Amino acid sequence: MGLFDTIASQATGFAVGQLKAIVPPKIISGVTTGTNVLNQLSSGNFLGAAATLATAFAGQFPIGSEVATQLYFQNTPTPLFGGITPSEAKQIYSAFAALQLAKKNLFLVEIKDANPLNTFFTSGPEALYAPGNRAFNLFVTDIDYAPATISGDKHRIGSASMDSVGGFEPIEMRMTAVDDVIGTIKGWMQYKCALVTNADGTVGVPLDYLVKIRVLHSFITDDSNTGGYEDTLIMRPVSVSAGLSRREDAVQEVQLSFTQFDTFIS
């Protein structure tokens, strides 16, 4: 070290000593940090200078440090979120959370005769459960059907294959419903099935046994409906079945099956 460097070093040490006697410690630490940063920058140690500033910033301003750390974390891709930044993950979640998802336990089902004059119950308390009445909706607990099924075949053309569309398949619908003690649901379904085939071997008139089934998704009333998906189908009753068991104390469930009469009418 040259004479000039020795004198400069001694002068700096003397000045810092004098400052410590009259300046508060926090200010001294800032001066010392600034001196260290300047020394690191003058020697070309830019990474060291940045680290010194970051450490001093975190120590003197913990709130600001937390903000800076959060900003760095929010904009850094991480494997925890599939290789994207937490900020992008939050945007994806916000977009998904804003969606109004359909709930499977919210639906409305209406069943009424294709011929309004052909009703099973016409008077008495049983008229409450006549086909088409809203009270029928209270009995149905489950509905299972495929709104659209398209059949087709594959044809070999050399070493390749080509799809050949056949057309729409009739919709099959299965319902599960509870029943009352007088067997309203079972009696109604048996009555409709009896109109399909007669005991003398003949078949009935479609207008007598066909039913119109309307299923509204995601809403339980028409008044609350704000454009929900719905299907209205002309169906033929197929079967009704029920199970009894003395091992279980539960309400009786009835299985109802329907099939679409034709695919010409949507």
In DSSP terms, which residues pair with 237 in a beta bridge? 258
Q: What distance in Å separates the CA atoms of residue 107 and residue 142, rounded to the nearest whole number?
A: 10
Note the pLDDT of residue 76.
82
Note the pLDDT of residue 15.
44
Note the pLDDT of residue 130.
52
Per-residue model confidence as pLDDT tens digits over 84-123: 888 888 888 888 888 888 999 999 998 888 877 765 554 4
Same domain, 174 and 251: yes
Asked if 225 contacts 152 with a C-beta cutoff of 8 angstroms, the reply is no
- Which segments in the chain show pLDDT lower than 50? 3-4, 7-8, 10-12, 14-16, 18-24, 26-28, 31, 61, 63, 122-126, 128-129, 131-132
Q: What distance in Å separates the CA atoms of residue 121 and residue 118, rounded to the nearest whole number?
A: 9
Same domain, 155 and 238: yes
**Is 265 part of any domain?**
no
**63: containing domain:** 3-97
Length of the chain: 266
Same domain, 174 and 202: yes
Note the pLDDT of residue 108.
93
Give 132's DSSP letter: T
Of the residues 53, 77, 97, which one is the last residue of a structural domain?
A: 97
Q: Which one-letter amino acid corresponds to residue 24?
A: P
Q: How many domains are contained in the chain?
A: 2
Contacts for 77 with CB less than 8 Å, ≥ 6 apart = 83, 84, 85
**Is 161 part of any domain?**
yes
Q: Which two tokens stand for residue 88?
A: 């992008």
In DSSP terms, which residues pair with 228 in a beta bridge? none
Q: Which two tokens stand for residue 230?
A: 């719905």
